[in-house]
Amino acid sequence: MKSSSNSGLVYSTDGGRMCPECRRSLLECACRLKAVPMGDGVVHVSRQTKGRGGKSVTLVRGLALDPAALALLGKQLRKACGSGGTVKDGVIEVQGDHCEQIMLELRKHGHHAKRSGG
């Protein structure tokens, strides 16, 4: 049996899931802190249906916020639209076509929002 240099601990009963890069538990991972996407100050709001079974999703990209503030803003936007959604990899996803309403809410919060896409 060969020993691979990529092999490592994937799960530990002490800490749960392990980060494949720094080999620490996901709660103590140092890689995630430096992987925070930074925006350019201009927020891009777009609508996407690709890969979602024909259902539209409004995407908000380019926000220069930390993950906690991004999650809070995502919650406020979803509440304003009366819709569900999530925050993934620095992108706020709101279910449905709510581009105009989200742009108004972002302007109320002091962000410069632009419509991108078709």
Higher pLDDT, 44 or 35: 44
Tens digit of each residue's pLDDT (9 = 90 or more) over 99-115: 999 999 999 988 889 99
Note the pLDDT of residue 17: 74
From CA 63, how far away is CA 70, in angstroms rounded? 8
| Domain range 36-115, its CATH number among 1.20.120.420, 3.40.50.920, 3.30.780.10, 1.10.3210.50 | 3.30.780.10
Higher pLDDT, 117 or 20: 117
Q: Within the chain, which residue ranges are assigned CATH 3.30.780.10?
A: 36-115
Note the pLDDT of residue 18: 74
The pair of structure tokens assigned to 63 is 């926000």
Read off the DSSP letter of residue 89.
Answer: T
Note the pLDDT of residue 72: 93
What's the pTM value of the predicted model, to 2 decimals? Answer: 0.67
